[in-house]
């Protein structure tokens, strides 16, 4: 079974600073995917970034980067130059590696990020 | 905008009733997933369909059922509703292998 652990229920950061949201995972699979999603107070789930277990380079999407350390089974999200609009709940998730149909995600409990002006 | 459309946005109903939640996936996506988000359970996977066929089942109650139609839209049917079924229900879709799930805006169900 797959398990995602997010140990920070809440995080605070000053506007324009960088912040790291922690995520560790547990799986016996050799192949898997790691994802981060953002959920603002309005409720929608927004896909941010993806990392495959065989990807050697850390994924980057704009101000988001995923610090992937396979041996430590961690997939931390780094947000650079925080903005007020980054205040939201952030979920780490993982999937099994599927050949065709795609795979459901297992989510962590989330980290509530607050960006202070 | 994720491209996944869910209707209705809000639903208020009474215990014992039955409701249907509807989802249209992104164009080209063959997989549809249903998730339930509640305060005490977090995000729970319910069921996945791929190209019309059930592919995976999670913590879905027997009172709940789903299907995916030939045009790939999906419906989640919730019956004999209980107060504890009040939650945000998400539909998501993906194009296939190792691709991210794109979520709709959810249907907020309130059972009174």
What is the H or E stretch that residue B62 is in?
none
In this model, does residue B18 exceed pLDDT 70? yes
Q: Is A97 on the interface with B (CB under 8 A)?
A: yes
Percent of chain B with pLDDT over 70: 99
User: How far apart are the C-alpha atoms of A20 and A10, rounded to whole Å?
Assistant: 12
User: Looking at residue A100, what is its pLDDT?
Assistant: 61
- Calculate the alpha carbon distances from B65 to A10, B44, B46, B68 in Å: 35, 15, 9, 11
**Nearest residue of B to residue A48 by CA position?**
B100
Phi, psi of B55 (to 5 degrees): -110, -35
Nearest CA distance, B38 vs chain A (angstrom)? 11
Poorest-pLDDT segment among A17-21, B30-34, B55-59, B91-95 = B55-59
What mean pLDDT comes out for the span B21-43? 93
* pLDDT band at residue B39 using 50, 70 and 90 as cut-offs: confident
Question: Cα–Cα–Cα angle for A111, A114, B1, nearest 5°?
Answer: 75
User: Looking at residue A88, what is its pLDDT?
Assistant: 98
Q: With an 8 Å Cβ cutoff, are B31 and A101 in contact?
A: yes
Q: Do residues A64 and A78 touch, judged by C-beta distance below 8 A?
A: yes
* pLDDT band at residue B24 using 50, 70 and 90 as cut-offs: very high
What mean pLDDT comes out for the span B31-38? 95
Q: Which of B26, B89, B97 to mutate to test the interface with A (most CBs of A within 10 A)?
A: B97
User: How far apart are the C-alpha atoms of B17 and B2, rounded to whole Å?
Assistant: 31
Q: With an 8 Å Cβ cutoff, are A98 and B42 in contact?
A: no
pLDDT single digits (tens) A86-113: 999 999 999 877 656 667 889 999 999 9
Question: To the nearest 10°, the Cα dihedral for A62, A108, B100, A105?
Answer: 170
User: How far apart are the C-alpha atoms of B91 and B101, rounded to whole Å?
Assistant: 9
In this model, does residue A27 exceed pLDDT 70? yes
Would you call B78 helix, strand, or coil by DSSP? strand
Strands laid side by side in the B74-78 sheet? B5-7, B19-24, B74-78, B64-68
Distance of CA B15 to the CA centre of its chain: 19
* pLDDT band at residue B106 using 50, 70 and 90 as cut-offs: very high
Nearest CA distance, A100 vs chain B (angstrom)? 5
Cβ burial of B72 (10 Å; 0-12, 13-18, 19+) is buried
Nearest CA distance, A81 vs chain B (angstrom)? 24
Cβ burial of B50 (10 Å; 0-12, 13-18, 19+) is buried
B chain contacts of residue A91, beta-carbon cutoff 8 Å: 43
Nearest CA distance, A17 vs chain B (angstrom)? 27
- Which residue in A68, A54, A70 sits closest to A20, CA to CA? A68
pLDDT single digits (tens) B61-71: 999 999 999 99
User: Looking at residue A113, what is its pLDDT?
Assistant: 98
Q: Which of A30, A89, A104, A107 to mutate to test the interface with B (most CBs of B within 10 A)?
A: A104
User: Looking at residue A98, what is its pLDDT?
Assistant: 66
Q: Which of A9, A45, A112 to mutate to test the interface with B (most CBs of B within 10 A)?
A: A45
Q: Is A64 on the interface with B (CB under 8 A)?
A: no
User: Looking at residue B36, what is its pLDDT?
Assistant: 97
């Amino acid at each position: 079974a797959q398990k995602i652990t997010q140990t920070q229920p809440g995080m605070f950061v000053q506007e324009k600073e960088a912040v790291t949201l922690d995520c560790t995972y547990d799986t016996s699979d050799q192949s898997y995917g790691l994802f981060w999603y953002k959920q603002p107070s309005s409720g929608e789930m927004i896909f941010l970034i993806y990392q495959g277990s065989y990807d050697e380079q850390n994924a980057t999407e704009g101000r988001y980067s995923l610090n992937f350390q396979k041996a430590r089974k961690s997939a931390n999200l780094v947000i650079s130059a925080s903005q007020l609009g980054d205040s939201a709940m952030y979920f780490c998730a993982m999937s099994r590696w599927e050949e065709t149909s795609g795979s459901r995600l297992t989510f962590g409990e989330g980290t509530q990020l607050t960006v202070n002006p | 905008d994720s491209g996944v459309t869910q209707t209705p946005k809000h639903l208020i109903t009474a215990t014992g009733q039955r409701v249907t939640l509807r989802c249209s996936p992104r164009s080209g996506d063959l997989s549809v997933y249903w998730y339930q988000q509640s305060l005490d359970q977090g995000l729970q996977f319910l069921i996945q369909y791929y190209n019309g066929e059930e592919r995976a089942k999670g913590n879905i109650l027997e009172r709940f059922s789903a299907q995916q139609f030939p045009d790939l839209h999906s419906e989640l049917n919730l019956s004999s509703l209980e107060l504890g079924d009040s939650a945000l229900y998400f539909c998501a879709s993906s194009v296939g292998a190792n691709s991210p799930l794109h979520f709709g805006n959810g249907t907020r169900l309130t059972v009174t």
